[in-house]
Copies of this chain bind each other. A is one copy, B any other.
Amino acid sequence: MRGAVIHAPGDIRFETLDDPQILHPTDAIIRTAVTCVCGSDLWPYRGVEPTGEPHPMGHEYVGVVEEVGGEVTSVEPGQFVVGSFATSDNTCANCRNGWQSSCLHREFMSTCQAEYVRIPNAQGTLVAVGQRPAEEFLPGLLAVPDVMGTGWWAAEAAEVGPGSTAVVVGDGAVGLCAVIAAREMGAERIVAMSRHEPRQELAREFGATDIVTERGAEGVARVKDLTGGIGADSVLECVGTGQAMRQALQSARPGGSVGFVGVPHEVAVDGQELFFSHVGLRGGPAPVRRYLPDLIDRVLSGRIDPGRVFDLTLPLEQVAEGYRAMDERRAIKTLLTP
């Protein structure tokens, strides 16, 4: 089969790879229907994270089951399936508590920009949608287990509730999906922080009521202006930089909450600042598995359309151009079709 391999920062190649095999009786193999490039893939692409030895890339997938290991009974060949970037057995103590992305047997997916993918912990990870859905739903279903699930988690971690004010820091695909989530959870006012017009427009269509283009202290001051001087009930930090985290913490009101869902890079939170802010802070890899049935339903019923974050579709063999377009901010998110 063929798939994407990163050789060095900026160097993504589409290569012939070994077909994945069932390695454990808990594995499944799927044929990829669609896959995509994630904002977090840009960390190694930009050299912010070391790339190390050449290795496959990608952790987002939907597809059709080809083969299952002997212990997998929940899905069968031919079914169309959706699954998280963090695999989970869905039976351990953490899974039972609803924290499947901290599953004791978790493996992070990392080879999904390819024609076929091995899924560890398939029994707990994969959710069958049944027959292959209509093409129009594929982008939305692909968004669910990563960017939409992560946006949902941002809103949950930030304790968005009916009538609340939510601020979304970050206008990438996750931030835009976080706007959808905040609206679905009943936020009355949703402030999207974005300085890119096409993204502002999509944020508004997804439910943002206000756009703030300023960043840093000025951005915080604008949020305070919009919130009676005290800050927002909920802030959804969807970037992962120190600057974004500071902005998020300072934008929340005393007693408000920050959900942070971008993997933090060189972020340290000062204990005394956090203390006197009274702000609650929770983040992590989204426990997507918990949300999957509900989010799949919202997509297939047409209630939400997170697939709109894909503004560039390329054949999988042009994966390198997919990275470039996102790196240069020509695309919000690139969908790849094998």
Contacts and interface: CB of A to CB of B under 8 A. Distances in A.
Interface of A: 93-94, 97-99, 101-102, 104, 157, 228-230, 242, 245, 253-255, 257, 260, 263-272, 274-285, 287
B255 A271 contact: no
Nearest to A272: B264
Contact of A278 (B102, B263, B271): B102
Contacts of A104: 230
B285 A263 contact: no
A101 B278 contact: yes
Given A264-B272, A264-B274, A278-B284, 8 more contacts: A94-B230, A94-B253, A97-B254, A99-B254, A245-B271, A260-B275, A268-B270, A278-B283
B269 A276 contact: no
Contact of A267 (B97, B102, B263, B272): B272
Given A94-B254, A94-B255, A97-B255, A276 B268 contact: no
Contacts of A268: 268-271
14 contacts: A97-B230, A97-B253, A99-B255, A255-B287, A263-B275, A268-B268, A269-B269, A275-B284, A278-B282, A278-B283, A278-B285, A278-B287, A280-B280, A280-B282
Contacts of A253: 93-94, 97
A41 to B, nearest CB: 18
B269 A102 contact: no
Contact of A284 (B157, B260, B277, B282): B277
Contacts of A279: 282
A280 B264 CA distance: 15
Contacts of A257: 282
Nearest to A264: B271
Contacts of A276: 284-285
A268 to B, nearest CB: 5
A265 B275 CA distance: 11
A298 B230 CA distance: 33
A253 B97 CA distance: 10
A102 B254 contact: yes
A319 B133 CA distance: 76
Nearest to A279: B282
B271 A275 contact: no
